[in-house]
Amino acid sequence: MEKLTKAQHSVLNLIFVGKKTEEDALGDANISLKIYEGWFRQPAWNAEYTAHIKRCKRRAEQLIANSQQKAAEMLISLTDSDKDDVSRKACLDILEIEESEGTRPKDVEQKSTLSKATQQRILKLMAKDK
């Protein structure tokens, strides 16, 4: 099996560890764009480059998932705000998210993860809005 050159390892390291742009990494490694483009015709380079991209995508998905959880927690905490307008907007946003994600089937009774007090506050705020 074909192995990567030191220059190829260097460029991968600069891009994926050093977080440089391709252009900056190529400049630092003194590699021309023509040579770099040629590397993509090499199976070993393609496999290594693709593996790095997949790892980056997995990391991004993990970061997004963690951020979504934190955002949901913050949104739920806003339902207990002293400002009625903030509470109402947070409640409506939660309901909109549930509806858009299809987590509220219309023909099945929904068991809520919200406390009874929060549910009552949501209903009270929604009644005020109408």
Residues 25-77 have pLDDT tens digits of 999 999 999 999 999 999 999 999 999 999 999 999 999 988 888 888 888 88
pLDDT tens for each residue of 74-110: 888 888 888 888 888 888 888 887 777 765 555 445 5
pLDDT of residue 22: 95
**Contacts from 37-46 at CB under 8 Å and sequence distance 24+?**
39/8, 42/2, 43/2, 44/1, 44/2, 44/3, 44/4, 45/4, 45/8
What pLDDT does residue 116 have? 75
- Mean pLDDT, range 12-33, rounded to an integer: 96
- DSSP for 42-65, written as a single string: SHHHHHHHHHHHHHHHHHHHHHHH
AA identity, residue 3: K
Asked if residue 128 lies in contact with residue 84, where contact means CB atoms within 8 angstroms, the answer is yes
Distance of alpha carbon 95 from the chain centroid: 21
